[in-house]
Amino acid sequence: MKILVCSFYGTNTPHFETELEIIQAHLDAGDIVSVLGCNAELLACDINPFHQVAACANCWGRRTVALSGLSPGLRAEKLLHLTKTNKKELRDIKTSFQNVEELKSYEIENFDVGYAVLSSLISRLRDPDPDVNRRAGLIRDLIISSVATYRSLQNYLDQTSFDRVYIYNGRYAPFRALLRACESRNVPFYTHERGHDIRHYALFPNTKPHDREYIENRIREAWANASSDPQREVIAARFFNERSVGVDQSWYSFVKDQKTSLLPEEWNSLKKNVVVFNSSEDEFIAIGDSWKNPLYRSQEEALDRLIEIIPQLPEDIHLYLRMHPNLKDVKNRTTEKLRTLSIPRLTIIQSADPVSTYALIRHSEKVLTFGSTVGIEATYWGKPSVLAGVSFYRNLGATYNPGTHEEMIHLIQSRLEPKDKLGALMFGFYMGTFGIPFKYFEPTGILKGTFRGRHLEPKRWVKKTAALSSLMGSFAYRGARGFTQKRLTGRFRTAH
């Protein structure tokens, strides 16, 4: 087999080490493997959005050291394969937008470049509604970089045939460019991401890890395939139990700093207490239309409309809004508004508040979520769960899924029975088992580990280059950026 592994982010553990794992596995199998890497050729990327020379040197150097330690026969390929026509396109490309909706709708052929850039931008800023005018420079650099990546891989695939291409995640700007380039040339690809814990990685054939239909099918398939396994429900239960006590699984637990069984001071068990759990929207909001909320344009709108009807709810209903712990240090319009909100019969529980998420679930009458895992966890713990959004578990029969705002309000007021736990068990089993075990990478934490027994560090000359460029500061930035722009477009442009 002829394999192409796209490896851009050399400092992104464990995803870079996952690429090393994939490369070595194919070399072991006798396959012909090529690596497509970025050697400071992008104007902006997710780990170095402002093209800092030190960060580029460190990333490039770490990848160089790591690849040199793999088995012989690996072929290194340069990223840029641009024609004169491509460079003219990049010089004249649209990079200015009036608002987020205009950016979202921007496409080039089959490449949803606007969505891709917005996804990177939102993740960088932790703001679901960024100011596109204020961030115009970064948007421009991400567009130019991702379209250059898209055209380069198209040209490369036209010249060289591959049986399979590997791409990280597929959501961020340069990686969605790679994914769409593969689709445009009908070349099979796999995206990779974390597995169910730090010792596993996952592969997703010809789709992204965020593909709702694909994941739902895998959930059902995994449950059915394990029908004779007496440990099936035990494994599913372990997933939920570990989350409830703050065990790190594939990512950091957000509840480990909370106090077990702690409820808000004003909690009144004689009331009908409905707990609303909001989410951090930055991962899913810019994936595409499949993740559009069927009821609301955003969680902010959903909460605004929910607050409007509080005076109309029966007097014995009290709402609690638990702000997601992941929003603790996030400052945007929505989070700032919620932190200062004061409404009768609505209690805001701040992100850093030690009140226990699982005590809230256990003592609530029902739970309302917008797609977070808490929605399916509530079902597992025997509580009615209302889902006012989309999620991987939406169609598993474990939640009440209102079709309109009015139906959601009706569900909040109604006496609901908990849904059957089967959907929750299916979800828990999949989330507690999916992925492929690492063979060469030994994780020692969520963001660190060794590959083949050694820590991957750049060579001494790379460290010196990084240190020198840090001292040079803005001069090094302007020079490097100008040089990169010339490589992409064929001419220098003013650095911003």
Question: What is the gyration radius of the CA atoms in the chain, in angstroms?
Answer: 24
Residues 287 and 354 in one domain: yes
Q: Is the peptide bond before 14 cis (omega within 30 degrees of 0)?
A: yes
Per-residue model confidence (pLDDT) at position 495: 42
* 129 in a structural domain: no
Beta bridge partners of 7: 37
Residues 266 and 395 in one domain: yes
Task: Pinpoint the alpha helices (H) of 245-380.
Answer: 299-308, 333-339, 357-363, 374-380
List, in order, residues 6 or more apart from 72 with CB less than 8 Å away: none
Write out the residue range of the structural domain in which residue 384 sits: 232-431
CB atoms within 10 A of CB 494: 8
Which residue in 385, 233, 406 sits closest to 306, CA to CA? 406
Quick one: pLDDT at residue 229?
96
Q: Are both 329 and 212 inside the same structural domain?
A: no
Q: Which residue has the tokens 């003219």?
A: 88
Residue 379 and residue 421 in contact, taking contact as beta carbons nearer than 8 Å: yes
Residue with tokens 């040199």: 68
In a domain, 80, yes or no: yes
- pLDDT at residue number 197: 97
| Residue 146 and residue 306 in contact, taking contact as beta carbons nearer than 8 Å | no
* Angle formed at CA 71 by CA 73 and CA 6, multiple of 5 degrees: 70
Residue appearing with tokens 């999620």: 391
Look up residue 104 and give its amino acid.
Answer: K
The confidence score (pLDDT) of residue 62 equals 92
Q: What is the pLDDT of residue 134?
A: 94
Considering the domain architecture, whether residues 381 and 474 belong to the same structural domain is answered as no
d(CA 22, CA 336): 43
Find out whether 191 and 65 touch, Cβ atoms under 8 Å: no
- 110 domain-assigned: no
Q: What is the CATH number of the domain that holds 338?
A: 3.40.50.2000
Least Cα distance to 61 among 39, 35, 41, 36 occurs for 39
Are 392 and 219 spatial neighbours (Cβ–Cβ below 8 Å)? Answer: yes
DSSP state of 291: G
163 and 272 share a domain?
Answer: no
Q: Which of 408, 431, 454 is the last residue of a domain?
A: 431
HSE-CB at 35 with a 13 A cutoff on CA atoms is 28
Q: Measured at the alpha carbon of residue 353, what is the angle toward residues 411 and 394, in degrees to the nearest 5?
A: 35
- Domain membership flag for residue 105: no
CATH of the domain at 166: 3.40.50.80
144, burial (CB in 10 Å: exposed 0-12, middle 13-18, buried 19+): buried
Same domain, 378 and 418: yes
Q: What is the predicted pLDDT for the residue at 456?
A: 85
Determine, yes or no, domain membership for 124: no
Tokens of 120: 């990177």
496 residues of the chain, pLDDT tens digit each: 999 999 999 999 999 999 999 999 999 999 999 999 998 999 999 999 999 988 998 998 899 999 999 999 999 999 999 999 999 999 999 999 999 999 999 999 999 999 999 999 999 998 888 999 999 999 999 999 999 999 999 999 999 999 999 999 999 999 999 999 999 999 999 999 999 999 999 999 999 999 999 999 999 999 999 999 999 999 999 999 999 999 999 999 999 999 999 999 999 999 999 999 998 776 667 777 788 888 998 888 999 999 999 999 999 999 999 999 988 888 888 888 888 888 999 999 999 999 999 999 999 999 999 999 999 999 999 999 999 999 999 999 999 999 999 999 999 999 999 999 999 999 999 999 999 999 999 999 999 999 999 888 776 555 555 555 554 555 555 666 676 777 788 765 544 4
Asked if 173 and 120 count as a contact pair (C-beta separation under 8 A), the reply is: yes
Instruction: Give 195-212 pLDDT, tens digit per residue.
Output: 999 999 999 999 999 999
Instruction: Provide the domain count of the chain.
Output: 2
Which one of 395, 411, 431 terminates a domain? 431
Last residue within a domain, chosen from 431, 459, 478: 431
Q: Are 379 and 418 in contact (CB under 8 A)?
A: yes
Looking at residue 126, its pLDDT comes to 87
In terms of domains, do 376 and 478 share one?
no
- Look up tokens 């010196």; give the residue: 464
